Amino acid sequence: MIANLKIKNLVIERKKMNFNGQTQLYGFLAHPARHSLSPLMHNLSFQARQLNACYLAFDLKPTAFDLSAANLKNFFAGFNLSMPYKKQIIPYLDELTPQAQRIMAVNTVKNQAGHLIGESTDGAGLFADLQEKNQKLAGKNLMVLGAGGAGRAIIAAAADYQVKKVFVCKRPNQTFLAIKQWLQKISQSTTTEYQLIDYADQAALKSCLQQSQILINATNVGMDGQALPLTSAILEQLKAEQFVYDIIYQPLKTPLLHLAAQKGCSYANGVGMLLWQGALAFEFWTGQSMPLHQVKTALLNEIRRRSS
């Protein structure tokens, strides 16, 4: 109740703010962009930290991207990106952090006196959430479903947390070989072992699940509230001591998480990853911490409102 009152007061105070010539602009660039929860997170945080800044979502059409990207440093103090621009932005940046270099994708950019620095906070955001949930990562095996943008960020970041082995499960499509080569490349600079698994190999999937302590769904399968990312026969192998993480946050409880609950597993949805990747971006820009409890309460309220 107290947290809700604080958030309400912050929103009211935001409405009273007068933007001026010193207001710094931050934004979310994607197509589409209207669904984004980032403006809620960051504007609440700017107000809580008494920063003269605002954050807006921009639905940037692909045909306008090149012209817009060339001028970003003239307008933004920092910005986030989502599909389809996480890779497309790289030629316009002056520098990439080591994490962004590993996956050659960026979700956060800081304008440091006209010098654009690209960062990826998705992977670190997930692992920060796992640590907050008291999940020990060092020496553990992870099974990651999917090797898209979020999946690659998680896979690469695993090495920073001394994960023993990552089973990467992917459909045998046109990018399968490229992911295999990428895994071979990143494994050269870490003790973390990576193994690529073909989704068509049901026996291998079952074996990987049995060897893993943490299962992470990094696909959008389950967003419809009906589908499972693995067959029921494979997921029946889940044990109560395993942890199941679904990066989806709408719905808050996917079919995978319902099944995990039935098997007695501890589990989490993607709200924590969303929160932490935003918090890491906020700190990257401002050097200040995000008011996590207040922002999480606001996120949950908004997600539930959208689902009702």
Is 160 marked within a binding site? no
Count CB-CB contacts under 10 A for residue 283: 14
Q: Are 106 and 90 in contact (CB under 8 A)?
A: yes
Which residues neighbour 302 within 8 Å (Cβ) at sequence distance 6 or greater?
Answer: 37, 40
Q: Is 197 exposed, middle or buried (0-12, 13-18, 19+ CB in 10 A)?
A: middle
| Length of the chain counted residue by residue | 308
For 100, which DSSP code?
Answer: H
Is 92 marked within a binding site? no
Sheet holding 243-246, edge to edge: 193-198, 165-170, 141-145, 214-217, 243-246, 266-268
Is 55 marked within a binding site? no
In angstroms, the CA 136 to CA 305 distance is: 33
For 191, which DSSP code?
Answer: S
Catalytic residue of the set 73, 86, 110, 140: 86
Is 249 marked within a binding site? yes
Is 277 marked within a binding site? yes
In angstroms, the CA 60 to CA 25 distance is: 16
Is 50 marked within a binding site? no
Is 149 marked within a binding site? yes
Is 247 marked within a binding site? yes
Radius of gyration, CA atoms only, the chain = 20
Is 220 marked within a binding site? no
Active site residue 239: no
In angstroms, the CA 94 to CA 123 distance is: 22
Q: Which residues are known to be catalytic?
A: 86
Binding residues for shikimate: 36-38, 82, 107, 122, 249, 277
